[in-house]
Structure 1
Amino acid sequence: MAWKKNPSAVLAGLLFIHLLAHIDRNMLLDFSPQIIADLGISNAQYGFLVGAVWVMSFGVMALFLGSLADRFSRTRIIAAGVFIWSLCTWASGHAQSFEQMALARFFVASGEAALVPAAVSLLTELFSEERRGTVMGLFFMGIPMGIGVSFLLAGTFGAAHGWRSTFYTLGVAGVVIALLLAFLKDDRSNAPAHERGAPFVLQVRTVLGLMRQRPALLFLIVGFVLIHVLFAGLSFTQLWLVQERGLDAASIASRIGALQLLFGALGAVVGGVVGDRLARRIPGGHAGVIVLFIALCAVPMIAYRFVAPGSWLFYLGMCAGFFLPLGSYGPANAAIMGMVPPQTRSTVSGFTMLCINILAIAVANLVAGRAVDVLIAQGVSSPLTHVVLATDVVGIGSIFFFALAALFSAGQRAGRGTAPTAAVQPVADTAR
């Protein structure tokens, strides 16, 4: 497997595939007016396409495909995922009804769910512990970059050729990449049984057992899920700025987009690089780094909800809110991967993605939207301010769980300094 001898090239390739995934994912948002008009669908049906249908598929499949990536070739799992999501992106361009588009998008999400669990495990294997935060941050930079490029493509190629041709082109490009990726071997069939993942149910039991046995891992995952509630606040930010802060919808939309892309990407890179540098110097390692990031961002994020629009503190708080979630990706993933045995890495990553998508994305957005409606019905002034502030408080409140993770991690480090590290038990034994 000569390709593993060039980890930087592997990282660049996975970043490009991650970028492609988020371009395909966001194209439905970028062409929403045209797609709604062409397919004759309602706003509720469109909301189902971009929300529930995605979460139902992506979250569950991330766990299942993560377990497969722990047993079989990770490159083949990724290749299969890219092939499925690209083929269904192409099929999305042919959709003539809501039902056809919903089916296509369901399998786009299923295919994309294969990427992150397998990629995170692979990058953890190829890079040393001292560089993992940086590597994870660079990989997850594909999220803001993909969002930005998707808008750029929609405004250039899409404007000239239409949304259907854009979907066709992206689908064909992805299929070609999948076929090339399938030639990379990641053969683990000769590895001992205890170095490979178990069948799905047993593997999930193993992961749940790890969280019971390792409080630092449990607290870290809980904190990582909670910090994603900030994205629910971002879903209502533009509406809040226009309706309750009096800003112009057209100008603030482009400003939010530019700042979110800039500071989201900056957060991914800085979070990873700074996280690796500080993790060796502060108690709790990477979990302690996230505690520091939250402490630095909390005050301007809360102040931003109350200060005059356009002031320096207003933009400082807005940018801090864009920076913080992505800034946690490198340190959190590096810490999680460092706490679990190699044969469970993809499954743990898939389980984390499942929790994030169900609890922090689907449920949090639903609760936030319902809360706005209830507050309006009760005649509460500035209902959107109350709701976005609440999402800020929950996201910032994740500091409590990251602090507990840092505390337990520091204790484990001290224990390893005086006693040998316990050997990892085989998967089948762990699950008993």
Structure 2
Amino acid sequence: GVLFVVYIFNFIDRQILAILLQPIKEDLQISDTALGFLTGFAFAVFYAFAGLPLARVADRWVRRSLIALSLVTWSVMTAASGLARGFADLALARVGVGIGEAGCTPSAHSLLSDYFPPEKRATVLALYACGVPVGVGLGYRLGGWINDAFGWRAAFFVVGLPGVLMALLVRLTVQEPRRGLSERHAGSGRTYSMREVWQFFATLPTGRRISLAVAFHAFAGYGLATWVPTFFVRIHHMTPGELGLWMSWITAVGGALGSFSGGWIADRWVQSQPRARVHVSMIGALLAIPFIVASVLLADHRLALLSFLPATVFGTLWFGPAASIVQDLVPPAMRATASAVFIFILTIIGLGAGPQLIGIVNDWIGTPDAIRYSLLYTAVGMNLSAALFFWLTGKTLVQDLEAKKRLL
């Protein structure tokens, strides 16, 4: 429960910028390309690269302490975003948020995989991943409301500072289990270098393919999560506060339902079909497409927003199944680092390039409705690519699950 709340804080602080893009653009006079950089590579590059050494720390040190320290760091840097006087200041603050958040998910995935056995892993990781849509939804709601009432700078102060108190709760309440506890073995006691983890993961076709599948899916997902609020502000002329009220429940309800359902269905289906977790992810990527198309093309803003609800449900089915596949592929002593490798790939391609490319295309087209078509083509193309790589993952999954036995 505490780790779930931490993940909510994680995504409130990460995604609150999305609902504030238009007022920040108008205040600081920066381009969509610059906004794409702030929401994409400014965060993603440092998040991805910092995650690798921090995951090595997590595989050797007290994971709850690392999560607590990370939470303090990203919370303070989120609050500092409200002090930005220009593009450079805001970019530096985003870098700090990225470095702070890098220590959270690999450590949490490792802890949860030691708490719960493999047959429950997709459901557990899916429940943890519900923190993503809940956090994004709260970020939309709080950011939009505070912006309309007090301005965009106040929004960063209000959502950032409470994380410092949450970090104390993490350190005092989260328990540190023995590694490998859920499989009822103590493991070999061996530790693995970063190079060994990369080499092992890269030699598995399943590891490469599931990482690319999720990266392409995240390209569309982060691109939409970042730019859809701006789309409704520009095209449908909604205020951030009004839009935040809609997007908060659509994202939280749709994402939580999709994330939990994906894990729950996959854990039950996998008992009769070993490729079930891949199939659930692939089906979700395909079913999201028509609803995304409807959301960006419908003229009525209410229908467009409601279409985004099923798109969010189907677009989050992969959270638990894909994360559990990565954890199942590697031995316990590799889990945090393997999670960081997986997150590194999906972050650079998805979180980094997704928002950035849409911003560049917006400026390149240069028309008031450019954002409609940049979102449309990005989402359709990337979801189809993700579905293809999920399908390819299924072709090698069963045999690759046996590979870790060589290391135990």
Counterpart pick for 1:342 among 326, 332, 339: 332
Whether the 8 Å contact between 1:305 and 1:389 is mirrored in structure 2 is: no
1:23 equivalenced with 2:12 (yes/no): yes
Is the alpha carbon distance of 1:309 and 1:282 closer, same or farther for their aligned partners in structure 2, counting shifts above 3 Å?
A: farther
CA distances 1:97-147 after superposition (whole Å, capped 9, x unpaired): 544443333212211111111101111111122221111111111111112
1:352 equivalenced with 2:345 (yes/no): no
1:409 equivalenced with 2:397 (yes/no): yes
Counterpart pick for 1:304 among 294, 302, 308: 294
**How far did 1:353 drift?**
1.6
Counterpart pick for 1:325 among 286, 292, 315: 315
1:135 equivalenced with 2:124 (yes/no): yes
Look up the match of 2:236: 248
**How far did 1:228 drift?**
1.5
Counterpart pick for 1:362 among 339, 352, 357: 352
Look up the match of 1:151: 140
Unaligned runs of 5+ in 1: 1-11, 427-432
Look up the match of 1:186: 176
Counterpart pick for 1:277 among 236, 259, 268: 268
Look up the match of 2:182: none
Whether the 8 Å contact between 2:80 and 2:93 is mirrored in structure 1 is: yes
**How far did 1:328 drift?**
0.5
Q: Distance in 1 between matches of 2:131 and 2:296?
A: 32
Q: Distance in 2 between matches of 1:61 and 1:258?
A: 32
Look up the match of 2:103: 114
Q: Distance in 2 between matches of 1:276 and 1:141?
A: 16
Whether the 8 Å contact between 1:49 and 1:102 is mirrored in structure 2 is: yes
Is the alpha carbon distance of 1:135 and 1:389 closer, same or farther for their aligned partners in structure 2, counting shifts above 3 Å?
A: same
Q: Distance in 1 between matches of 2:295 and 2:142?
A: 33
Q: Distance in 2 between matches of 1:214 and 1:35?
A: 44
Is the alpha carbon distance of 1:316 and 1:36 closer, same or farther for their aligned partners in structure 2, counting shifts above 3 Å?
A: closer
TM-score of the superposed pair, with normalisation by structure 2: 0.81
1:92 equivalenced with 2:81 (yes/no): yes
**How far did 1:360 drift?**
1.9
Letter in 2 for 1:425: L
Is the alpha carbon distance of 1:341 and 1:239 closer, same or farther for their aligned partners in structure 2, counting shifts above 3 Å?
A: same
Q: Distance in 1 between matches of 2:231 and 2:75?
A: 35
Q: Distance in 1 between matches of 2:337 and 2:136?
A: 26
**How far did 1:387 drift?**
6.2
Identical residues among aligned pairs (%):
26
TM-score of the superposed pair, with normalisation by structure 1: 0.77
Which deviates further from its counterpart, 400-409 or 250-259?
250-259
Q: Distance in 1 between matches of 2:36 and 2:301?
A: 34
CA distances 1:305-324 after superposition (whole Å, capped 9, x unpaired): 89865699978864443223
Letter in 1 for 2:92: L
Whether the 8 Å contact between 1:19 and 1:146 is mirrored in structure 2 is: yes
> Number of residues paired by the alignment?
396
Whether the 8 Å contact between 2:34 and 2:359 is mirrored in structure 1 is: no
CA distances 1:52-102 after superposition (whole Å, capped 9, x unpaired): 321222121122212221121111110110121123234334445544443
Whether the 8 Å contact between 2:115 and 2:177 is mirrored in structure 1 is: no
Secondary structure at the aligned position of 1:273 is classed as helix
Q: Distance in 2 between matches of 1:132 and 1:193?
A: 19
**How far did 1:331 drift?**
0.7
Is the alpha carbon distance of 1:103 and 1:335 closer, same or farther for their aligned partners in structure 2, counting shifts above 3 Å?
A: same
Counterpart pick for 1:105 among 94, 104, 123: 94
Secondary structure at the aligned position of 1:182 is classed as helix
Q: Distance in 2 between matches of 1:103 and 1:325?
A: 31
Counterpart pick for 1:394 among 363, 382, 395: 382
Q: Distance in 1 between matches of 2:20 and 2:230?
A: 19
Is the alpha carbon distance of 1:241 and 1:67 closer, same or farther for their aligned partners in structure 2, counting shifts above 3 Å?
A: same
RMSD of the alignment, in Å?
3.9
Counterpart pick for 2:277 among 268, 281, 286: 286
Secondary structure at the aligned position of 1:249 is classed as coil
Is the alpha carbon distance of 1:31 and 1:284 closer, same or farther for their aligned partners in structure 2, counting shifts above 3 Å?
A: closer
Secondary structure at the aligned position of 1:22 is classed as helix
Secondary structure at the aligned position of 2:405 is classed as coil
**How far did 1:370 drift?**
4.2
